Structure 1
Amino acid sequence: MYLSRSFLTLILPLAALPNAYAQNITDPIGRAELAMSALQKFYNAPTGMWTGWWNSANVMTVIANLAKVDPNPQLQDLAARIFANTAAMGPAQNFDPGAEEPFKKRRIASGYTKGIDENGIPFTTYPKGWGTPEYAAKNKKFKSRQDAPAYDPHSWLDGFYDDDLWWALAFLAAYDVTKKVEYLNLGEGIFNGVARVWPSNCGNGGIYWSKDKKYVNAIANELFFSTAAHLANRASDPNKYADWAVKSIDWFVASGMINKDGLINDGLKDDCTNNGLQTWSYNQGVILGGLAELYKVRPAVAYKDLAARLANASLTTIFDKNNILQDPCGPTCGGDASQFKGIYMRGLQALHEVAPDPTYVAAIKANADSVWNNDRDKANLLSIQWAGPFIDVANATTHSSAMEALVAAIAVKDE
């Protein structure tokens, strides 16, 4: 199909960036900019997506995080245009927009499924044709891209609360870069849409994974907490969101999802006890970013202490002997779990900003160096096995996840 000039400027490599094609770069900014050039090869400008629905929210977040630490004006401009395009085009890819609207019963759109397979690995399946302009045209709620209200929170709510909150955090990150108030309002509106489902049936608190109310899991609740904490530092009513953050982290700590080793399991059983499922890296990371944000607005030592305990537990458990981050599924992770490690790096970087620790710096630098030296092909694409060797399946999910380590390395490059 024909792409307009404006679309082409969103997907072409950033050839003008400094050192854009140097293969043996050691400067953290140069590495991340080169990775950014490769990342945009996956961008589908007419849909506003790079890959899967919730994964694309994380891709948008890593671009925002790069823009926060790299002052390159060309990058800043590109990031702003990407955010605007995704906000405009993305809603038409939603499966069940407005699913959290009160007093409306609506099933989750046929073909969109999230679950956990027999090996404990999360997965997402998509409707036929999803991620194409043709799918957007057939979307039952948004008949065309032009009809999709970009800055209406209901355009981003789909009945899976973790997905909703990934997008909330993505737009709050976009707000940090652009100061465009529409992004802040969107993140706030998404959070308030999800907040209506509090509490779950466990401990008179928490939220479910989805609107079917069958599972109370870690990631949805960590994201709820983290989004509230982020809003407490950005919204016009900080106390409202700080109170939400405190209430949700208090519930989470009491829920039993943090095991005796200081790691967070996947969720709770039907009887509201820890289910003992995998301690995925992203569950160890999202909470660190949330605690860092909460500490900024409510500087209680207890929050830093909790974050340090959780970080130390993960750093001594889910990293290999060379200090490289691993997930239990290793190179066989599917499209969901292959996103996880980068989310951990994002949380560790955020924690280091409020509670500096040389151990965190060492972990960030070791992983960034290993990604660049051992997990990169000649096209500068990054795969899933950060320790190497490169596995010849690199996509937007594996690339954006590994790119988080490169971005975090910029933040600690002078330490």
Structure 2
Amino acid sequence: MAPKSSSLASAVLLLIAEATAQVSNAHVAFTTLQEWYNPSTGLWDTAGWWNGANSMTVIADLAAVDASIVQDAIQIFETTFSVAPSVNPSAGIEKNITAHGIMQTTYPAGWPDDTIVATADPTNSTSWLDGANDDAEWWGLAWIAAYDVTGNETYLNLAEGIFNQIASGWGTNCGNGGIYWETTNHYVNAIASELFISLAAHLANRVSDSASTYIAWAEEAWNWFAATGMINSEGTINDGLTSDCVNNGQPVWSYNQGVILGGLAELNRASPNQSYIHSANTIAQAAIAALADSDHVIHDTCEPNCAPDATQFKGIFIRNLLLLHRASPHDLYREVIEACATSIWANDRDTSTNQLSIDWAGPYVSSANSSTHSSAMDALVAVISV
């Protein structure tokens, strides 16, 4: 029998090898993601405006745990900050839900390359608004992620400005609360309202002189959300409310289950209250029961035909599940994150290009794009920290 010290040393070496492989996989994914990056638009080709915010966020999350890519990340942030407003698709963006509950974002013809305009002031929050409130909120969270890596106050100020723009539309429907999906389409839905909670809570932990204001916003929005009925009897979250302000029964999308987890974890950090963590754990475990297969790999019901929007959803769930796991560690969350990352690399990767596709359990579905890839990359980055 090997001495205990030898067994311990072997276990440590195995853990080091696993951690090294996880970082290596994330590096490869980062390099591949950047093959889609277009420095003339500051976005990632083959996906939309809000997807760009999520691509930037996963790069920031990788930079936060891997100093070797920080300089590359800083350059990406600076480029996107400078030029992306010139292709803001505000003139002509439309959002709708198909008869099957699939989210659809339509962009102006020729967007983005044929719609470049004179560069707007990137420090002005209105330069990041496109008429869809959730899109603006994604950019607010992306600039907070960039701030966390760089300490650049300009990014944090921009996130504040975006939040203040969205906050001006709070409470015009459904029990004096909620955020419309679009400014011209008065659909009160889960994602825009959850992002509002999360953005307020993230700001509360970073803007010390206004922390109480952001805490109050996050608490008000969460109390409203929890009372709407969007959280169904199974503990998962449907997509939104009808015009009569009741749960519309639309699909249980992974990103709706995820964003609230990160928002509640951040709110608990800003204003500790065990009820926030309890609610987040209840939703997370219900979501895993609903969305994970027998191998703990997460799926959305639209697979493999989730374009153009739902290709992004699962990575958002995993990103926010990690935030909850940091606040309230749970073996199930670790197992899900590890299972997703392992399966993506083994079963959902084109080994000739290292592109990552939509079905994380595999087999690889051709063709991948920057949305499917950045979403899967969220899991590869999250597993580094569990």
Query: In structure 1, what is the Cα distance between the partners aligned to 2:105 and 2:354?
Result: 27
Query: In structure 2, what is the Cα distance between the partners aligned to 1:267 and 1:401?
Result: 23
Which deviations, in whole Å up to 9, do the C-alpha atoms of 1:177-196 show, x marking residues without a partner?
A: 00000000000000000100
Corresponding position of 1:61? 57
Query: In structure 2, what is the Cα distance between the partners aligned to 1:401 and 1:408?
Result: 11
In the alignment, structure 1 residue 29 sits paired with structure 2 residue 29: no
Flag as ranges the 4+ runs of structure 1 deviating above 6 A. Answer: none
> Structure 2 residue aligned with 1:179, among 151, 155, 160?
151
Corresponding position of 1:220? 192
Q: How does the TM-score come out when normalised to structure 1?
A: 0.86
Corresponding position of 2:171? 199
How many Å apart are 1:69 and its aligned residue? 1.2
Corresponding position of 1:117? 98
How many Å apart are 1:322 and its aligned residue? 1.1
Query: In structure 2, what is the Cα distance between the partners aligned to 1:80 and 1:26?
Result: 23
In the alignment, structure 1 residue 79 sits paired with structure 2 residue 73: yes
RMSD: 1.2
How many Å apart are 1:26 and its aligned residue? 6.7
Q: Give the secondary-structure state (helix, strand or coil) at the position aligned to 1:85.
A: helix
Corresponding position of 1:4? none
Q: Give the secondary-structure state (helix, strand or coil) at the position aligned to 1:27.
A: helix
Corresponding position of 1:357? 330
Query: In structure 1, what is the Cα distance between the partners aligned to 2:21 and 2:265?
Result: 27
* Percent of paired sites with the same residue: 51
How many Å apart are 1:207 and its aligned residue? 1.5
In the alignment, structure 1 residue 379 sits paired with structure 2 residue 353: yes
How many Å apart are 1:119 and its aligned residue? 1.1
- Amino acid paired to 1:59: S
Corresponding position of 1:129? 110
* CA spacing shift, 1:320–1:169, aligned 2, 3 Å: same
Query: In structure 1, what is the Cα distance between the partners aligned to 2:305 and 2:347?
Result: 18
Aligned residues: 365
In the alignment, structure 1 residue 254 sits paired with structure 2 residue 234: no
* CA spacing shift, 1:256–1:54, aligned 2, 3 Å: same
In the alignment, structure 1 residue 52 sits paired with structure 2 residue 48: yes
Query: In structure 2, what is the Cα distance between the partners aligned to 1:291 and 1:52?
Result: 27
Q: Give the secondary-structure state (helix, strand or coil) at the position aligned to 2:104.
A: strand
Query: In structure 2, what is the Cα distance between the partners aligned to 1:157 and 1:124?
Result: 15
Query: In structure 1, what is the Cα distance between the partners aligned to 2:252 and 2:172?
Result: 22
How many Å apart are 1:95 and its aligned residue? 2.6
In the alignment, structure 1 residue 344 sits paired with structure 2 residue 324: no
CA contact (8 A) 2:43 2:84 kept: yes
- Amino acid paired to 1:53: W
Query: In structure 2, what is the Cα distance between the partners aligned to 1:46 and 1:78?
Result: 17
Query: In structure 1, what is the Cα distance between the partners aligned to 2:280 and 2:121?
Result: 38
Query: In structure 2, what is the Cα distance between the partners aligned to 1:55 and 1:127?
Result: 16
CA contact (8 A) 1:266 1:275 kept: yes
Query: In structure 1, what is the Cα distance between the partners aligned to 2:193 and 2:148?
Result: 23
Q: Give the secondary-structure state (helix, strand or coil) at the position aligned to 2:312.
A: helix
Query: In structure 2, what is the Cα distance between the partners aligned to 1:338 and 1:310?
Result: 22
Corresponding position of 1:410? 384
How many Å apart are 1:253 and its aligned residue? 0.2
Within a 5 Å distance, the mapping from 1:301-340 to structure 2 comes to 301-340=274-313
How many Å apart are 1:213 and its aligned residue? 4.4
Which deviations, in whole Å up to 9, do the C-alpha atoms of 1:211-231 show, x marking residues without a partner?
A: 124210000000000000000
Query: In structure 1, what is the Cα distance between the partners aligned to 2:305 and 2:213?
Result: 42
Query: In structure 2, what is the Cα distance between the partners aligned to 1:25 and 1:242?
Result: 36
Q: Which 5+ residue runs of structure 2 have no aligned equivalent?
A: 1-17
> Structure 2 residue aligned with 1:91, among 85, 88, 101?
85
Which deviations, in whole Å up to 9, do the C-alpha atoms of 1:37-70 show, x marking residues without a partner?
A: 0000000110001031001010000100111111
How many Å apart are 1:393 and its aligned residue? 1.1
Q: Which 5+ residue runs of structure 1 have no aligned equivalent?
A: 1-23, 97-108, 138-143
CA contact (8 A) 1:168 1:187 kept: yes
Query: In structure 2, what is the Cα distance between the partners aligned to 1:224 and 1:213?
Result: 17
Q: Give the secondary-structure state (helix, strand or coil) at the position aligned to 1:114.
A: strand
How many Å apart are 1:310 and its aligned residue? 0.5
